Amino acid sequence: MRIVETELLVIGGGVAGAYAALTARSYGADVTLACKTPLTGGSTRWAQGGIAAPLAQGDEEAHALDTLKAGRGLCEPETVQAFVRDARSHVETLRDLGVTFSPHVTLEGGHSRARIRHTGDSTGHSISLALAGALGAARGPALNVLEGAFVRNLRVSGGAVVGADLLTPDGPVQVRAGAVLLATGGFGRLYPVTTAPPEGTGDGLGLAWQAGAALRDLEFVQFHPTAVVRSGAAFLVTEAARGEGGRLLNARGERFMERYDPALELAPRDVVARAIAAEIAATGRVDLDLRHLGAAFVRSRFPTVTASLAPLGLDLGADLIPVQPAVHYTMGGVQTDVQGRTGVPGLYAAGEVASSGLHGANRLASNSLSEGLVFGARAARAALAVLKPVPART
Ligand code: SIN
């Protein structure tokens, strides 16, 4: 069997894993990144609406408050503070890596002001490509990327995680690592109607559990309010569509959100999803209406959604779009502290696989891409700090 020795093994190639690997490399660490898909796989590339971060220092408090409110009193305040403090500079790093955000920032449910940066409606895809490009450029003896690698188990010795056993396209590989960082995403695919990618099967939670880590808040599963569901497959219509002024109508043509929340369509996601489910039960259907925004604007602002709906015979700019809630994000996961440390020495977690306390019972829209950056970087630092001196964060 092939044996790979590395300082840090990162499992997962989405935003949290890719950014953790790049961060660790920037500290001079020897890194191996293993992911079961190609590098641009995972749910990151599916994210449409954008990436939330305080626009300026003065926005940190408001962003923290919005995050705490959406989380229904169950966020860890220290984690939320760390998130809003760090997020903006990491988003700037994405710019340095070549992500060209629109000068227009948008609004989404639960945000008290427009602070979502985006690249149209394919923000996750742009970020995924930029991170994969940076990893590709850094690939070499000190950055080993194993794509198509399925992790069978973590290796545990003396109560600490010391590596993993992988199945790769080239055969089994034993990775001996100073530390392992899980960034394997959530478990949305355990549900029949979900916007999660096929690979979102919760593998990281199982691996961590078997290694002795605690899992937390698994009951907090987020439904995205506006999925278009055909033949059991759910396609997301980004929350930014409501951020730009999209309205929700029931089968009687009523703008029913007036009866549920003063923020109307921009109430937090859990409120809107429950309202839609209730209105579908009561009236038979709910539609998203963007027609008043003008077809040309809608098609150019949301080209990905427009193109995806076209084969269904639906025109986002000109038709009522039938929507329903679908499982979208899993708040619970491997319990970590604010540095991404699990309770098991040598094991770290970041991104959707982790339960860092950022989201509480309900994630604020567009906090997940920035979560991946902030906690991917924090977990990488924490893991390396045990192995070698790590310079202070600038
Ligand atoms: C969306 O674009 O509506 C998804 C954003 C998110 O899940 O935060």
3-state secondary structure the chain: CEEEEEEEEEECCCHHHHHHHHHHHHCCCCEEEEECCCCCCCCHHHCCCCEECCCCHHHHHHHHHHHHHHCCCCCCHHHHHHHHHHHHHHHHHHHHCCCCCCCCCECCCCCCCCCEECCCCCHHHHHHHHHHHHHHHHCECCEEEEECCEEEEEEEECCEEEEEEEEECCEEEEEEEEEEEECCCCCHHHCCCECCCCCCCCHHHHHHHHCCCCEECCCCEEEEEEEEEECCEEEECCCHHHHCCCEEEECCCCCHHHHCCCCHHHCCHHHHHHHHHHHHHHHCCEEEECHHHCHHHHHHHCHHHHHHHHHHCCCCCCCCEECEEEEEEECCEEECCCCCECCCCCEEECHHHEECCCCCCCCCCCHHHHHHHHHHHHHHHHHHHHHCCCCCCC
Place 35 in a pLDDT band, splitting at 50, 70 and 90: very high
Place 122 in a pLDDT band, splitting at 50, 70 and 90: very high
pLDDT above 70 for 377: yes
Structure-block tokens of residue 327: 């499982």
CATH number of 2-219+330-387: 3.50.50.60
- At position 32, the amino acid (one-letter code) is T
pLDDT value at residue 393: 60
Quick check: CB of 351 below 6 Å from ligand 1?
Answer: no
* Spacing, Cα 369 to ligand 1 middle (Å): 9
Quick check: CB of 122 below 6 Å from ligand 1?
Answer: no
Place 56 in a pLDDT band, splitting at 50, 70 and 90: confident
What is the number of the ligand 1 atom nearest to the C-alpha of 369?
Answer: 8
Does domain 221-327 fall under CATH 3.40.50.1970? My reply is no
Residue-range domain boundaries for the chain: 2-219+330-387, 221-327
CA–CA distance, 373 with 91 (Å, rounded to integer): 8
Per-residue pLDDT reduced to its tens digit, 227-279: 999 998 999 999 999 999 999 999 999 999 999 999 999 999 999 999 999 99
Quick check: CB of 366 below 6 Å from ligand 1?
Answer: yes
* Spacing, Cα 295 to ligand 1 middle (Å): 22
The chain-wide mean pLDDT, for the chain, equals 96
pLDDT value at residue 391: 66
pLDDT value at residue 232: 87
Quick check: CB of 238 below 6 Å from ligand 1?
Answer: yes
* Spacing, Cα 269 to ligand 1 middle (Å): 10
Place 392 in a pLDDT band, splitting at 50, 70 and 90: low
Among 223, 238, 316, 327, name the best residue to mutate to test ligand 1's pocket (greatest count of ligand atoms within 8 A of Cβ): 238
Quick check: CB of 49 below 6 Å from ligand 1?
Answer: yes
Among 63, 226, 366, name the best residue to mutate to test ligand 1's pocket (greatest count of ligand atoms within 8 A of Cβ): 366
What is the number of the ligand 1 atom nearest to the C-alpha of 48?
Answer: 2
Quick check: CB of 323 below 6 Å from ligand 1?
Answer: no
- At position 227, the amino acid (one-letter code) is A
- What amino acid positions are annotated as catalytic residues? 269
Q: Which residues contact 1 (CB under 8 A, 6 or more apart)?
A: 171, 172, 173, 174
* Spacing, Cα 288 to ligand 1 middle (Å): 16
